[in-house]
Amino acid sequence: MASCILGLAIATSFPHSNYAAQIISVLFIFLFIPIGFLGANFFYCTEVAPTRLRVAMSSISTANHWLRNVVVAMITPTMGHSLEEIDLIFRESPSV
């Protein structure tokens, strides 16, 4: 997941006229979705767990996923800003 985000950050740092960088950024988004969104968090642990432990493992992975979402939502310093303001923050940033 981290390598997908790193690749996406690098690819989107190029000018918008760079067609190859746009294609690479789309590729990294499509790679991130199955790896980071559902596959590793929910499905993988239930596939490797024995049948008698699948329900417990699924509940632990789901709780872990939501706990991490809450932690990220609470520690990110964007509270009190609109989506447009956050977009401007990233556009006006001098570095990746």
- Please write the tens of the pLDDT for every residue from 21-62: 999 998 988 888 766 665 666 677 777 888 898 888 888 888
Which residue range(s) make up the domain with 43? 2-91
pLDDT for 13: 92
> E strands within the chain?
none
Residue 82 lies inside a defined structural domain of this protein: yes
For residues 3 and 85, give the distance between their C-alpha atoms in angstroms, rounded to a whole number: 27
Q: Count up the domains in the chain and report the number.
A: 1
Say what angle helices 19-32 and 2-12 make with each other, to 10 degrees.
Answer: 160
Asked if residue 49 is part of any domain, the answer here is yes
How far apart, in whole angstroms, are the C-alpha atoms of residue 70 and residue 4?
22
Residue 53 forms part of a structural domain: yes
14 assigned to some structural domain: yes
Confirm whether 71 is domain-assigned. yes
Asked if residue 29 is part of any domain, the answer here is yes
Residue 96 maps to a domain: no
What's the pLDDT score for residue 40? 65
95 vs 21, more confident: 21
Instruction: Say what the pTM is.
Output: 0.44
Q: What is the mean pLDDT of the chain?
A: 82
75-83 average pLDDT score: 76
User: Residue 80: is its pLDDT beyond 70?
Assistant: yes
Residue 21, pLDDT score = 93
